[in-house]
Homo-oligomer: A and B are copies of this chain.
Amino acid sequence: MRGNLFAVAVDLVVLTVRRDQLCVLLVRRGERPFESHWALPGGFVQADEDLGDTAARELVAQTGAATQGAVEGHLEQLAGYAAPDRDPRGRVLSMGYLALLPDIPDPEAGAAFLPVEDVYGLAFDHDRILADGVERARAKLEYTTLAAAFCPPEFTVTDLRRVYEAVWRVEIDPRNFQRKVTSTPGFLLPTSTRVTGGRGRPPQLFRRGPATALHPPMLREPVPAHV
């Protein structure tokens, strides 16, 4: 068995929507290289771990998302990165993973959710991994029901619309959006409760339905690409 040996790591692109902005979880590095730079959370694959195991373990460790996030959230493999010079310590292959979570409080010190538009100069090639993750998330909202992964267990149509508007950075007509999502079978399950206390007519509360695909897809115009 020829070929060089690699250390294999998993780096997470953990996205959420906070205050109508798409945010990514970053950690401040405490060691070299790139000491005190922002980086994606991640870690090395341990013995007897598959890649998804490592990703799930790191996700729980970094967010405490075992209770809330893992149920409503989403975790999928993104891509592999293995440029020979991507890590000055030696050959490291990193598998990017994409996680979508509802808005949760900032985790431990040294980690924070920051708006993706403000993020530059991450450690290693994490700018690239982040860009790939954001693009994947934007694309998946088109033809899947994954936008609900950004929402808490019960949410309104407006909550869901704000997710689309934050991720795509566009404005969507509330009336057409409502017709679209409520007429897709299995996307939204109505609950018997309504929200009170806000301004305007109290909205209906929904839960995620069993549908995963969106037929026909929700089309977006070419986005003002940036980040």
Contacts and interface: CB of A to CB of B under 8 A. Distances in A.
A177 interface: no
A79 B46 CA distance: 19
A226 interface: no
A84 B92 CA distance: 18
A171 interface: no
How many copies of this kind of chain does the complex include? 2
Contacts of A215: 219
Interface residues of A, number: 34
Contact of A8 (B3, B77, B90): B3
A89 interface: yes
Contacts of A153: none
Contacts of A90: 1
Interface of A: 1-9, 43-51, 77, 79-84, 89-90, 92-93, 95, 215-217, 219
18 contacts: A1-B7, A1-B90, A4-B7, A5-B5, A6-B6, A6-B8, A6-B93, A8-B93, A45-B82, A47-B84, A49-B84, A50-B82, A51-B80, A51-B93, A77-B79, A77-B80, A215-B219, A216-B219
